[in-house]
Amino acid sequence: MRAYIASTGFHVPPNRVTNFDLVTRYGIDTTNEWIVQRTGIEARHFSADGEGTADIALPAARDAIARAGLEAGDIDLIVFATLSPEHAFPGSGCVLQALLGLPGVPAMDVRNQCSGFLYALASAKGFVESGMAKNVLVVGGEKHSAALDLTTAGRAVACLFGDGAGAVVVRGTKDSEPNKDRGIHWMNLGADGRYADALTQKVWDNRKSPFIWKDPETGKNVVKPEMMWCQMDGKLVFKNAVEKMILSVVGMCMENKIEPSDLDLVVCHQANMRINEYVRDQLGLPPEKVPNNIQKYGNTTAATIPILLAELERDGRLKSGMKVALVGFGSGFTWGSAYIIW
């Protein structure tokens, strides 16, 4: 038996925020041209106040479950990848489980940021192929908007991120499967914690007591700006992202005895259009084989790959029998790749 992705689903909040909106609605000193030139992003979606990460993920999860021909009660494991859970604890997986009405079904969070979906998919593959689960709901969901410094001071990061969720149902192939090669054939994961501080949002540091600094004069706990907002060494992230993503795909091809040109699609994490274009060019692939949707949604972190898979499947660019590579890189540093026959 081989694990395979049986269906996809996605959801983004209806509130679409363009680059022009960042200037006019939020007063950020930037331009559409500046953002597009450096990132490829034209818009993103922000959720409403009071809406949490699991709320955003719920429609995506229901979409994927329905498209798999299942009911919510058929799900026997939830794996939720996110860096933006509702609280420090419990995890968003348990919150989503309650929203789906599935008491007793195991739920776990995966905290590997932009690589989170790939780590979650690898977990689901292991559960299915070991026989520990039959129908695994894998979700990548984020609510970034609540943790963005939407001022000129935070513009370098604020323009990058959006809210959204993607989901897939992972099942096991059967002997009667018409597409005998269907499934997740190979996965590889990696990490290098030496660069943990190059892309981080510390917000609280439990190495210190108290973990959120207390002002001795007012007695109030205060989160300092350098702890509150995401901090990123953009050049270092870019360099490592292109290196690890290219090596991941090349290594994947070597392990599976194929050439990059044999791939029908390479679905990259949507962090920056320029990163993906560089990866594409170094692999010698045409633009149609390395699709992007970052221009519409920005970086939705753990949600980017499943959202893009869902869109590709909906518009007919992702079809049964295709050879597909998934590849991502993010904070940690972490990275991963997968070779799938759809």
Q: What is the mean pLDDT of residues 112-122?
A: 97
Q: Which of 94, 114, 230, 268 is catalytic?
A: 114
Does residue 104 surpass a pLDDT of 70? Answer: yes
Structure tokens at 262: 């044999």
183-196+231-341 shares the fold of 3-172: yes
Rounded to an integer, the average pLDDT of 225-253 is: 92
Q: Does domain 3-172 have CATH number 1.10.287.130?
A: no
Per-residue pLDDT averaged across 47-73, rounded? 97
**What residues does 8 pair with on adjacent strands?**
168
Task: Count how many residues are written for the chain.
Answer: 342
Q: Is 159 a residue of the active site?
A: no
Please tell me which residue in 135, 240, 272, 299 is annotated as part of the active site: 299
3-state SS record for the chain: CCEEEEEEEEECCCEEEEHHHHHHCCCCCCCHHHHHHHHCCCEEEECCCCCCHHHHHHHHHHHHHHHCCCCHHHCCEEEEECCCCCCCCCCHHHHHHHHCCCCCCCEEEECCHHHHHHHHHHHHHHHHHCCCCCCEEEEEEECCHHHCCCCHHHHHHHCCECCEEEEEEEEECCCCCCCCCCEEEEEEEEECHHHHHHEECCCCCCCCCCCCCECCCCCCECCCHHHHCCEECHHHHHHHHHHHHHHHHHHHHHHCCCCHHHCCEEEECCCCHHHHHHHHHHHCCCHHHCCCCHHHHCECHHHHHHHHHHHHHHCCCCCCCCEEEEEEEECCCEEEEEEEEC
Calculate ∠ Cα 94-72-304, nearest 5°: 65
**Burial zone of 209 (CB within 10 Å; 0-12 exposed, 13-18 middle, 19+ buried):** exposed
Q: What is the pLDDT of residue 176?
A: 61
Burial class (CB in 10 A: 0-12, 13-18, 19+), 160: buried
What pLDDT does 223 receive? 87
304-321 confidence digits (pLDDT tens): 999 999 999 999 999 999
* CATH number at 183-196+231-341: 3.40.47.10
Measure the CA–CA gap between 338 and 212, rounded to whole angstroms: 39
Task: Report pLDDT for 253.
Answer: 97
Q: What Å distances lie between residue 189 and 115, 121, 123, 333, CA to CA?
A: 9, 11, 11, 11
Give the per-residue pLDDT at 209.
84
299 is annotated as an active-site residue: yes
Q: In whole angstroms, what is the distance from residue 106 CA to residue 101 CA?
A: 12
As a whole number, mean pLDDT of residues 69-97 equals 96
How many Cβ atoms are within 10 Å of 39's Cβ, its own excluded? 20
CA angle 314, 3, 191 (to 5 degrees): 90
Of the chain, the percentage scoring pLDDT greater than 70 comes to 99
pLDDT of 175 higher than 70: no
The answer to whether 269 is a known catalytic residue is yes
pLDDT, mean over the chain: 95
Query: Which has the minimum average pLDDT: 66-80, 181-195, 224-238?
Result: 224-238
Tokens matching residue 328: 């991502």
Chain centroid to Cα 221, Å, comes to 32
- The mean pLDDT value for 22-32 works out to 96
Whole-number pLDDT of residue 177: 67
Catalytic residue among 11, 45, 144, 269: 269
Domain boundaries, the chain: 3-172, 183-196+231-341
pLDDT average, residue stretch 123-152 = 96
pLDDT band at 170 (very low <50, low <70, confident <90, very high): very high
